[in-house]
Amino acid sequence: MEAAAAIVGLLFVLFVLAGVFLTVKAVQAAKRGVDRTVAQARRTVEDTTLRARQLAQPGVVGELAQLRLSLRTSMRATQDALYGAAGEDASLSEAIGLFERLSAHGHELDAELKRLEREPDRPTIAARLPELRERTERITHSAESLRWAARDRARRFADDDLAALSDQIDVEAGALRHWTEGPGYPAAGEPVADGRPRTGTADGSPAADAARRGAAPETAGRGSSRGAAPDAPPAITARDPRTEPAHPWQKAPRTEEQRAEARRAEARGDVREAEARRRE
């Protein structure tokens, strides 16, 4: 009895611990989701404010807003391109490391531009604008180089995969057309006038037809003990209706039992017809 109570107590403790663990995980996931939503909303508000300031306040303030907006847009696009493709291409890890080092310079420049927006000494800011513009262009140019290199790499991989797939499809298409390879048959992809393979001769004589079917003209009516002609095209394997996939627009193939039942029904019908004739 005491052992059963101990087991029940142990199970209860395990259930409580599992519930606490799942609750903590759920709270952490919810917190991460809220943090992402808040960060995205904050970025959207800041970008909208910068665009409005760029249009509404020309001069030094508008120039600073334009530099910040250009820097933030370029760095965010590069971050999305690199981190989005890192899961499929492990060789981008070094590029991500370089981007993180570049992000440190980008955050420093963005913070400096943000401080200068509240600076009342406009002539000093105007004197520093060329240097700030040059730093912004250098950072954005480096970010764009990484971003376009990653995109070109992904596109090159896609082109190589498509080329290999096209070669495999051509090989498979040639294998599916194996019956067209031989004397008297059109090549793969050659247009046919009536939709059927052309014969080897233009006169369409019975001898040519017999030769095309792989039998000699004089032995066409005999058995197939001698086999096909040496230059006859390979035969196509017949399809088994039992293993062939059924489509909604096709009738289901008859099985052997259904064929036997149909033959028995026909035999019964013949017997009844014969009895009816005798009665007459």
pLDDT tens, residue order, the chain (280 aa):
677 888 888 888 888 888 888 888 888 888 778 777 777 777 777 778 777 877 777 788 888 888 989 999 999 999 988 988 888 888 888 899 999 999 999 999 999 988 888 888 888 888 888 999 999 999 999 999 999 998 888 888 888 889 999 999 999 998 888 775 555 555 545 554 444 544 444 444 444 454 455 444 444 444 444 444 445 555 545 555 555 555 454 455 556 667 777 777 777 776 677 677 667 6
Query: Rounded to whole angstroms, how far apart are CA atoms 131 and 63?
Result: 13
pLDDT of residue 109: 92
Give the contacts of 248 (CB within 8 A, at least 6 positions apart). Answer: none
pLDDT of residue 219: 44
Query: Rounded to whole angstroms, how far apart are CA atoms 199 and 205?
Result: 10
pLDDT of residue 256: 66
Question: Counting Cβ atoms within 10 Å, is residue 144 exposed (0-12), middle (13-18) or buried (19+)?
Answer: middle
Q: In 10 A of CB 110, how many CB atoms?
A: 18
Computed on alpha carbons and rounded to an integer, the radius of gyration of the chain in Å comes to 40
**Residue matched to tokens 């943090």:** 35
- Return the DSSP state at 249: T
pLDDT of residue 178: 79
244 phi, psi to nearest 5 deg: -80, 135
Is the pTM higher than 0.85? The answer reads no
What's the chain's length in residues? 280
Give the contacts of 136 (CB within 8 A, at least 6 positions apart). Answer: 67, 70, 71, 109
Return the structure tokens found at 5.
């109570």
Return the structure tokens found at 123.
């002539």
- Return the DSSP state at 92: G
**Residue matched to tokens 């079917």:** 213
